[in-house]
Structure 1
């Protein structure tokens, strides 16, 4: 089967990983008034993409390359757990990673997903989403370049979908924004593709700080 079909499947909104339950901090940012108006919203989106590139891509790439070594995957996941000290983001990452494993077991006939699930259930690893995503793409024979693009696409798609549901942008405007901002993804990948997990860092910590306050909101549509 073509790897294109596989990446389309795991990137489809119908593939249940729970990503549409998360706003990547946008809901808190909107309620605190940090993203009022298109210019501020654009800054927020670009900050999310840059953070995904500088922090998450090293974990995605390393997990992809070490996917056949479960001991290494445990180590990478443990390092991710130590680095994601924002409790809201940590919780979201674990939930999405666990959901991805559970869905992959049902959708794909590959015992390597069961090995990941067993490691999570035995608490040998947490199952953070970037780590599990990298493994998933490797197991489905999706190329590393496409894997990284698909991950970044998922970040952009999630924040745009959240903005539409929050009323920050309209549906059509959201699609136009997504098309325009997809053009920056190759550059972000190029600047971060060779970073090790030890070099992973947040480029725009204000987004992380805002998301960290999500649980204090009086009313919430999203989990993060």
Structure 2
């Protein structure tokens, strides 16, 4: 029994290591090409101080949790990847809630890249069928949905996916802040360390919700994301 328990633990740890690899910043999925409103917030003076960055990050993570986690949870339910009417409802609801055109475009680019990556890493998961279904139904291949549908098909658990999604959101924002010169590398990574402490609060509040309970909670952030189009010279695409 001990050997069986140890073997299961080892498999879980190996699976978790594989997930860490998938969300590593070196994986070419395109997330580092976008700032998701941070660059425009700095450029137009909505974000001026390190304390303001803390408030910004908290609002950003709140919106990620309230909007994205319910969709990840719904896509990860047993039977949700059966490519039927329920999944179509989920996809259409998510598409309707992406109100900012630049974020909508970024989501489609990253969704396509993620599916290509997962197809090459996990051929047994038959993710070509998933991509074919989206294409046949003429549905938008959004990143959050591909992230959840693809990785659950590959055998990853929904709780791990939700935690990793928050990790990616926080990491990408702080990487953008460092590259923009708003904070130094040490200060940025200290912020990342500090913000992990609120993950449990966000997961407890939103991880059991499903897509019909998803909401957008940071409307000033949406406005900042729209403003990105008006930056004369910019480092990030959106």
Q: TM-score range by the shorter chain?
A: over 0.9
Of 91, 98, 103, 1:77 maps to 91
* Cα deviation, residue 111, structure 1: 4.7
CA contact (8 A) 2:71 2:145 kept: yes
Residues 1:135 and 2:149 aligned together: yes
Distance in 2 between residues matched to 1:116 and 1:16, nearest whole Å: 21
The more displaced of 143-152 and 58-67 is 58-67
- Structure 2 stretches of 5 or more lacking a match? 1-10
Partner of 1:131, secondary structure, is helix
CA distance in 2, matches of 1:30, 1:57: 27
User: What is residue 114 of structure 1 aligned with on the other side?
Assistant: 128
Corresponding residue number in structure 1 for 2:76: 64
Q: Deviations over 1:99-138 (max 9, x none)?
A: 1001111222135311122234445321111111111221
> What is the Cα deviation at residue 197 of structure 1?
1.3
Q: From the CA coordinates, give the structure whose radius of gyration is larger.
A: 2
Aligned residue number for residue 116 of structure 2 = 102
Q: Does 1:40 align with 2:52?
A: yes
Question: In structure 2, what is the equivalent of residue 162 of structure 1?
Answer: 176
**Equivalent residue, structure 1, for 2:27:** 15
- Structure 2 residue aligned with 1:30: 42
Which deviates more from structure 2 when the two are superposed, residues 213-222 or residues 71-80? Answer: 71-80
For residue 110 of structure 1, give the secondary structure of its aligned residue in structure 2.
helix
Q: Which 10-residue stretch deviates more, 153-162 or 97-106? A: 97-106
**CA separation in 2, counterparts of 1:37 and 1:166?**
13
TM-score by length of 1: 0.94
TM-score, length-scaled by structure 2: 0.89
Deviation at 1:67, TM superposition (A): 4.2
Q: Is the 8 A contact 2:125 2:154 kept in 1?
A: no
Aligned to 1:202: 216
Q: Summarize the Cα distance change of 1:213–1:123 in structure 2 as closer, same or farther, 3 Å threshold.
A: farther
Aligned-partner SS, 1:174: helix
Whether the 8 Å contact between 2:41 and 2:47 is mirrored in structure 1 is yes
Contact 1:157 1:178 in 2 (8 A): yes
> Shift in Å at residue 64 of structure 1?
1.3
Partner Cα distance (1:111, 1:122) in 2? 19
Indicate yes or no: 2:233 matched with 1:219.
yes
